[in-house]
Every structure is written in structure tokens, then in C-alpha cells.
Structure 1
Amino acid sequence: MGLLYESTGFVGWGIWVFVLFALMAFNEFSRTTKWGGIFLFLIVPAVLTIFVWPTTAAPGNEYGTGTWFNWVKTYSALAGCLGFMIIRYYPSLTKKKWVLWFPPGILALNILEACIRDFQVYTYGVWNGAYIDHLWVMSGPWNIMNGIAGLLNIVAICGWTGIYISKDKSKDMIWPDMIWPWIIAYDLWNFAYTYNCISDHSFYSGLALLLACTIPTFFIKKGAWLQHRAHTLALWIMFVMTIPSFADRIAPVPTTHNPTAFFIVSLVSLIANIALVVYQFYRIRKYRLNPLKDEIYIETNSYQQVLEDNRIAV
């Protein structure tokens, strides 16, 4: 597979495709049915927390699922799913300004957690790579580059005052101002994070997981990227916490452990997020906008397409 990953065969790609479509299918189940969401994001994790994860994600286990990051990421993702469901099924809450701070807040928190992890991996000083907490990592300037890219991505979160709930049966949380430049910059940053910090798991937790929320955003339900992302992330991390041997033993696809690959991936992430922030601040200055109150991209085709697809006119 060239620069990024060791080669994998037909079976390996078949498993990857299955993971991708399974995540998308469960996302649709949880998105389109209220009880599907309650079952997947409340009942299932409650049972797993009591009966399964204390064993499969115990501190120091051989698969690295017992780290602080895995536990924090699991519950922050679930908090996002449940919080969004409350907003979706009680749409009058969107009229309260403080409620609309929750979606960008939980998103920023999730990005910040990963930035801290990237910086932490740099402090390990394993310049030639090593297993730490049973995960292979290699410290380098890429950790700093991508940590900065993530912080820039947080700065570029905008337009949450325009969040509304769709009028159709699924009652999706629509965020029109979260248009494709931000989504692509996020995807590039998050892939670089997985490549840097959970390197040999990134074939699934990077490529498959990111596509599982990006594809629905562009082709199934436009404007609901954050909802898609929260659902697929929570589903994946619950799976990993439950079957931690999946990426290491059952269907491993390791990276090449090539420093050049790490550098290129994080450089692309950094450039994309610098460009995003520069473009956004250009629009803020040109149109004299307040990024804490105003939507930034309301005149763009991407924004208008989200409104049209969700039958909202402005």
C-alpha cells in the first residue's frame, strides 16, 4: 500500500469495507429511530461499562485500550451523542443560546483531547519508535505540527448560532455553517492524529471511521456532519473497547513506520488548517462578522445547498 501502510490482501480490504458500511448502517439506525439511539448510546454502554470494559479495557492491558485517553474519548463521544439527541428531540431548546454552545463545546473538547495526546507522544522522546502502553508510536516534529493543526481547527469552528433541527422524521441536528472546507480540514487533521498516536490502528480508526461520517454528510444527510461524527466515533470506540484485539490480532494492517510518511501526513494537515483559518478570517474581516455570533458562510453555495436539502428558506 505504498508509503503509508504495509500491504494487505483481498480479505483485509473486505474487512475494511465491512467496517465502513457497518458503521454507516448503525449510524443510520441510530439517526432515524429514537429508540435506536437510546439503545446504542445509553443502554449498550451502560451494560458494557459494568460487565465488559473493566476486563477488556483494564489499565495496562496488552492492547492499549486501558489508557486515560480511550476512557475519556469513549464517554465524551457518548456524551455528545446523548446531548445531541436531547437537542434533536426537544427542538425548542435551540431557542436558548446557551444550549447551542454544547455542540461546538463538545466538538472542541474532543479535538483538544487529541491535540494533548499528540503533544504527549512528542514528550515520550521515542524518535525511532517504540511500544508505549502497548501501542506503537514514534515521536517527532509531526506531533507538534499536527497538535497545532488541531488547535487551528478548533479556532475555525463557527456558525453554531445557526444550528436547527430538521423538520423531517429523523429530526437531525443541522449545522449549515459547517461546510466542506472545515470538514476536509478536520478529516486531514484527525487522520494525521490517528496515524501519529494510534499508528497501527489508523487503517480503521482513521480511514474507515472518517469516511463513515464524511460519506453520509455529502450523500445521505447534508448539514449533519457533527451528528454523523459523534455516532460513528462512539460506535467505533465502543467496539474497540469491547474487542481490543481487532486491529492487532484479528485484522491487523500496520503502518510502514516510515518517518517520511508521518511528516507528510501532518504537514498536509497543518497546511490545510492554516488555509482554513486564513480564509475564515478573510471572510470575517471582509463582511465585518462576529465569529461568536454570526454565521460565516451564509452566502456560499454549500450553505445554501444544506438549507435547500433540508427545506429551510432564508
Structure 2
Amino acid sequence: MGILYEATNFNSWAIWLFVLFALMAFNEFGRSTKWGGITLFLIIPIVLTIFVWPTTAAPGNEYGTGNWFNWVKTYSALAGCLGFMAIRYKPSIAKKKWVLCFPALILAINIFEAAIRDFQCFTYGAWNGAYIDNLWVMSGPWNIMNGIAGILNIIIICGWTGIFVSKDKTKDMIWPDMIWIYVLAYDLWNFAYTYNCISDHSIYCGLALLLSCTIPTFFIKKGAWLQHRAQTLALWIMFVMTVPSFADRIAPVATTHNPTAFFIVSLISLIVNVAAAGYQINMIIKKKLNPLKDEIYVDTNAYKQVIKENK
């Protein structure tokens, strides 16, 4: 038995690695050409919405994919992908400053949806763990802690006025103020959310999914974190809606169902997001910035490197 997950075998880790690299590969396909993105995030979802998801993600199905959260998350992630493509491929749209608030808004909405879900799981009162809507959930203070961390993660969204489209042929949506501080705070919060609310699926929708957008952010295309995140999230949830048995039957990896693990994961999330918020507030006060208009991290090496590579 592990700390966070039950002991697993070589085959399970091989499948996990395949999921990770498949998400990264399809993300690259979706961002490398306009038609790749249109195919993945418009044409395929329309076909699946009409012919597949009404069956595989029907309300009350045995895999828990028929709840409100999965449906809302699917279309909000796809809306993000399509909205970002409009910014990337339509220069007239990208030049309008008010349009640039869309990425921040869609990010905030997605975080808020998950924070609400954490609070909802607390209200279930499943203090010893229970299957609710065919998903295993254990209610506890960790839900409140991580819900608060999610709200803080919304508050520290910054620098959206500095979003621009990269000068290279992939025309990525670059958000230079989203440096490693935010990415770390988001990743820890989101992993805790998946661990709390989609517990026995979290090794995929938490660990693998987060790495699939974080690795490209630091090693493939710096500054495009939100674009990577939206596309890999949309790809994963579309797959889950289509093959709902994957994490429960085909390649299950259960958590240890240990209350201490839940508490520690959410505590780390809360501490890091409190620290990030505190640091950002200090920067705003020290530099006399307007957090709704000004970029905050322009003096950092991470920010400067993104600008140098993309503008």
C-alpha cells in the first residue's frame, strides 16, 4: 500500500505513461495547425454529443460520468479551446483588449466550478467514505480547505492584459504573467480537487493530466500554459465521457482512502495558494500596481524569457 494510492503493477504504470504522452501528443496536434484544433475541439465533440455521450454519459450511469459537473466541465473546456483559437487565428479579435479578459474569465469559471464541487462533497457528510453518484467520495475538512484554496487561485489570476499571439507559425496564445508561481499553485490546488472529489480517478485526471500541460509549459512552449491546460483538459474529459469504464474497469488505480492523505494534500494546496496570494499582494502594494490592468511579474526572468521567445 502506498501513501496516496494503492500499490500498482508495471502494466498500470505503462498505461499511465501512455495516457500522459497521448495527451501531450494530441495537444501538440491541436496547437500545431488550425485544422488540427478544429477537428479535435469542434468537429469531434459535435459528433460525440449527438451519437455517443447521450449513452456513455447518461444521468445515473454506473461510472459517474452523468453528473452535472462532467457535462459542464466538458463544454466549458471546449469553449476555452475554441475561444483561444479565435484569439490565435483572428488578428482583429486579438487586438481588442476587452476580448483578452476571456481567457481569465474562462479560467476563473473552471476553477469556481471545481471549488463548488469540493464544497458540495463536504455537504454529503460521507465522513467514512461512500459511493455517491457512483463515485467514491470521503467528506471532510479537506473539502473546505481546498475550496478556499480554489477561491484564492481565482483571486491571483493576473496580467491578462498582456496576452498576445506568438510570432511563430503555431500562433500560440501567450500569457507571460502566468509564470511558475501561478502554475505551481494551480497544479497543487487542482490535484487536491481531483483527489478529494474524483478520488479513485485522480491518478489520471489529476497527476497525468496536470503533467501533460505542465511539461509543455516548461519544455515545449513557454508562456502558453492556459492553452496547454484547456486543450489537455478537453481531450481528457472527452475521452472519459466516451470511455467511462477506463478508470474503474480497464485500468483502475484506487487511492488509499486514508483521511490523513486527504488532509495533507489539501493542506499543501491551501498553504501554497495562501503564500502565492500573499506574495502577489505584496508585489501589488510595493509596486503600486492595479491588479486588473497591470502585469505583475514583468521584472522576473521567467517573464522576460517568454517575451524574448515569442514576441
TM range (shorter): over 0.9
> 2: CA distance between counterparts of 1:60 and 1:90?
41
Tell me by how many angstroms 1:97 deviates: 1.8
Equivalent in the alignment of 1:151: 151
> 2: CA distance between counterparts of 1:305 and 1:58?
46
Offset from partner CA, 1:271-294 (integer Å, 9 cap, x none): 000000000000000000000000
Equivalent in the alignment of 1:280: 280
> 2: CA distance between counterparts of 1:57 and 1:91?
37
Unaligned runs of 5+ residues in structure 1 are: none
> 2: CA distance between counterparts of 1:167 and 1:90?
14
> 2: CA distance between counterparts of 1:232 and 1:76?
13
Give the total of aligned pairs: 311
Equivalent in the alignment of 2:72: 72
Unaligned runs of 5+ residues in structure 2 are: none
Equivalent in the alignment of 2:108: 108
Tell me by how many angstroms 1:93 deviates: 1.9
TM-score normalized by the length of structure 1: 0.98
Equivalent in the alignment of 1:192: 192
Amino acid at match of 2:304: Q
Matched-pair identity in %: 80
Tell me by how many angstroms 1:94 deviates: 2.4
Offset from partner CA, 1:80-128 (integer Å, 9 cap, x none): 0000000000123222121011000000000000000000000000100
> 1: CA distance between counterparts of 2:96 and 2:148?
32
Aligned pairs for 1:292-303 (under 5 A) are 292-303=292-303
Residue 29 in structure 1 maps to residue 65 in structure 2: no
Equivalent in the alignment of 1:267: 267
Equivalent in the alignment of 2:211: 211
Equivalent in the alignment of 2:175: 175
Equivalent in the alignment of 2:223: 223
Equivalent in the alignment of 2:236: 236
Offset from partner CA, 1:187-214 (integer Å, 9 cap, x none): 0000000000000000100000000000
> 2: CA distance between counterparts of 1:96 and 1:38?
23
Tell me by how many angstroms 1:145 deviates: 0.1
Indicate the SS of the match to 1:136: strand
TM-score normalized by the length of structure 2: 0.99
> 2: CA distance between counterparts of 1:182 and 1:215?
15
Equivalent in the alignment of 1:8: 8
Indicate the SS of the match to 1:73: helix
> 1: CA distance between counterparts of 2:4 and 2:260?
9
Amino acid at match of 1:301: N
State the Cα RMSD in Å. 0.6
Amino acid at match of 2:8: T
Aligned pairs for 1:24-173 (under 5 A) are 24-173=24-173
Indicate the SS of the match to 2:97: coil
Amino acid at match of 2:293: K
> 2: CA distance between counterparts of 1:16 and 1:175?
29
> 2: CA distance between counterparts of 1:87 and 1:95?
9
> 1: CA distance between counterparts of 2:39 and 2:90?
18
Which consecutive segments of 4 or more residues in structure 1 shift more than 4 A? Answer: none
